[in-house]
């Protein structure tokens, strides 16, 4: 597994660091060089709150390599409260309880083993139902 | 640019071809197309393929296949756009002939994917998605489409069963196509009870992979006399690679853009399309494609299936040879199967699933979850 690649992504994975467009104030995640709203350059870092709600979800039974041992697990499109949408696994929730519109918050969890000889473990963001939500 | 015609076609059955290598499959389809055209070799070869570097450990397919079929010395290159590779190669061949850079171009889509185990193929297919922000989250390619389907059902109020006609039609048509992978009918009950892949997508929503190759030979239309099949429209467009980055995740904007351009080039409106070989990798993709191309209002495409409009005798026949769902989906070859099937319809060679008086046919090939979409319109002209 490619260690530099995971190292490069650590700000996004551990702290949801995206960008804010200096021209139109759009919040951008994942980071990209061109603002999707105004098409100008975007480079300023911005930390997202990690709060959002479920736009859609799926429980995966046939998983890609590296994730087989976790199946079935649930992946969602989460609409972050600052605007952008993100693809992430759900955790600390029974798949049958998940609903579109459910408020969720980011947590850091183990994503997967590297499956080969180096024994590296990849951590990253997942989302769970917001704890103070009644 | 000069008009371009399709002079020959060829295809292998989509199957698990354990006894044949990638180049042997490619050769079968290529020789069939060359034989139909009555020539030994073309000026240039364009190969559509997605997975050979990962699954077969073979890259540089242009030279590899040119070598195998005896086109030594010719220009030959591979074109990759995930599951849209086939049509992307076709468009490259088209441009070469249209521009006068080649007097003949052989276009070939080929994929050999069943040598590897299922989860390895699942991972290989996921390379079409965003590696850092989709795949690393554990979402499979099916999963991405499942996210779209769930939201679509939620927004427009459809049940899973409402998508059954797409798969039922595809299977019913494939029975009459000897090149199809699956040759059995399915029922609405089976569609509801099939095993789950990624909720709400089950096995009968999803197209099966397979090994296969399909080819077409392109020449300047001015060289042909009599009735001929011409490429009347060809366009390609892109969208964000990740589903989550789309302004409207339930709308295939690249399908809309490429179809609009192809309609304009061909001088036709959607209601003049006699048949549509669409990219039914998943039942939800059929619905989104029909809506983006102007055949149904947003959120209303399942109605076309439920009303029987998509069968060979309906108002807009789709997947007349089985579609991805039942002909099979050898990913990088699929776009070329679609082109070959439209040619068969325009020639009137489709027997039981022949669309009456087919003159204008459309094919749409989708890469990834909608990031690259190519639309082609073929016409039979006197
Ligand atoms: Zn901006």
Q: Do B126 and A64 touch (CB under 8 A)?
A: yes
Phi and psi angles of residue B140, each rounded to the nearest 5 degrees, phi first? -85, 175
pLDDT band at B123 (very low <50, low <70, confident <90, very high): confident
Residue B317 in this model has a pLDDT that exceeds 60? yes
User: Class of the B4-117+211-223 domain?
Assistant: alpha beta
Calculate the CA B117 to chain-centre distance: 24
CA–CA gap between residue B49 and residue A134 (Å, rounded): 51
CB-based contact A89:A73 (threshold 8 Å): yes
Which of B83, B293, B319, B350 is an active site residue?
B83
Question: What pTM does this model have?
Answer: 0.97
What is the complex's ipTM, to 2 decimals?
0.95
Residue A134 in this model has a pLDDT that exceeds 60? no
User: Taking an 8 Å Cβ-Cβ cutoff, which residues of chain B contact chain A?
Assistant: 118-120, 122-123, 126, 132-140, 142-144, 146-148, 150-151, 154, 195-201, 242-245, 247, 249
Per-residue model confidence as pLDDT tens digits over B254-284: 999 999 999 999 999 999 999 999 999 999 9
CA–CA gap between residue B143 and residue A99 (Å, rounded): 16
- The rounded Å distance from CA A110 to ligand 1 centre is 33
Six-digit token string for B161: 């069963």
Pairing verdict, β B360-367 and B275-277: parallel
Q: To which H or E segment does residue B213 belong?
A: strand B212-220
Question: Is it true that domain B128-206+233-381 has CATH number 3.40.47.10?
Answer: yes
- Rounded to the nearest angstrom, the minimum Cα separation between B317 and chain A is 31
Q: Is B83 labeled as catalytic in the residue annotation?
A: yes
Q: Is B329 labeled as catalytic in the residue annotation?
A: yes
Six-digit token string for B53: 């570097």
- Rounded to the nearest angstrom, the minimum Cα separation between B159 and chain A is 15
Mean pLDDT of B348-361: 98
| pLDDT for the residue numbered A69 | 83
Residue A8 in this model has a pLDDT that exceeds 70? yes
Residue boundaries of the structural domains of chain B: 4-117+211-223, 128-206+233-381
Pairing verdict, β B75-79 and B44-48: parallel
Residue boundaries of the structural domains of chain A: 3-129
CA angle in degrees (0–180, nearest 5) for B264-B266-B268: 75
Which of B17, B64, B279, B329 is an active site residue?
B329
């Amino acid at each position: 597994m490619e260690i530099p690649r995971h190292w490069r992504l650590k700000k996004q994975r551990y702290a949801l660091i995206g960008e804010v467009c200096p021209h139109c104030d759009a919040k951008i995640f994942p980071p990209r060089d061109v603002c999707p709203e105004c098409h100008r350059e975007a480079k300023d870092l911005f930390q997202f709150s990690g709060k959002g709600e479920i736009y859609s979800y799926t429980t995966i039974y046939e998983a890609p390599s590296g994730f087989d041992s976790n199946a079935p697990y649930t992946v969602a499109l989460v609409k972050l409260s600052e605007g952008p949408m993100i693809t992430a696994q759900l955790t600390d929730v029974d798949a049958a309880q998940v609903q579109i519109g459910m408020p969720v918050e980011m947590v850091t969890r183990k994503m997967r083993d590297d499956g080969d000889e180096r024994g590296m473990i990849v951590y990253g963001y997942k989302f769970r139902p917001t704890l103070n939500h009644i | 640019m000069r008009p371009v015609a399709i002079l020959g076609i060829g295809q292998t059955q989509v199957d698990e071809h354990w006894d044949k290598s990638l180049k042997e499959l490619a050769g079968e389809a290529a020789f069939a197309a060359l034989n139909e055209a009555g020539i030994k070799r073309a000026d240039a070869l364009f190969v559509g393929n997605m997975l050979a570097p990962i699954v077969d450990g073979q890259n540089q397919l242009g030279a590899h296949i040119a070598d195998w079929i005896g086109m030594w010395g010719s220009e030959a290159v591979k074109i990759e756009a995930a599951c849209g590779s086939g049509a992307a190669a076709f468009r490259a061949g088209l441009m070469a002939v249209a521009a006068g850079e080649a007097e003949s171009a052989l276009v070939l889509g080929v994929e050999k994917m069943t040598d590897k185990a299922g989860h390895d193929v699942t991972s290989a297919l996921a390379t079409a998605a965003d590696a850092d922000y989709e795949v690393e989250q554990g979402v499979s390619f099916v999963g991405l489409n499942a996210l779209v389907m769930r939201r679509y059902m939620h927004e427009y109020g459809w049940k899973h069963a409402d998508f059954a006609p797409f798969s039922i039609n595809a299977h019913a048509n494939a029975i009459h196509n000897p090149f199809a992978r699956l040759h059995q009918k399915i029922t609405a009950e089976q569609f509801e009870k099939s095993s789950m892949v990624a909720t709400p997508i089950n096995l009968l929503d999803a197209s099966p992979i397979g090994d296969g190759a399909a080819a077409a030979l392109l020449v300047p239309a001015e060289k042909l006399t009599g009735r001929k099949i011409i490429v009347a429209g060809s366009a390609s467009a892109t969208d964000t690679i990740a589903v989550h980055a789309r302004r409207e995740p339930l709308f295939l904007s690249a399908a809309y853009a490429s179809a609009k351009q192809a309609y304009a080039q061909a001088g036709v409106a959607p209601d003049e399309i006699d048949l549509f070989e669409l990219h039914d990798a998943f039942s939800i993709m059929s619905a989104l494609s029909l809506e983006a191309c102007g055949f149904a209002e947003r959120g209303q495409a399942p109605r076309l299936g439920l009303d029987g409009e998509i069968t060979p005798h309906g108002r807009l026949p789709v997947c007349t040879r089985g579609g991805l769902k039942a002909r099979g989906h050898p990913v990088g070859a699929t776009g070329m199967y679609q082109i070959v099937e439209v040619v068969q319809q325009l020639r009137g060679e489709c027997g039981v699933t022949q669309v009456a008086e087919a003159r204008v046919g459309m094919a749409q090939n989708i890469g990834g979850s909608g990031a690259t979409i190519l639309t082609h319109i073929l016409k039979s002209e006197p």
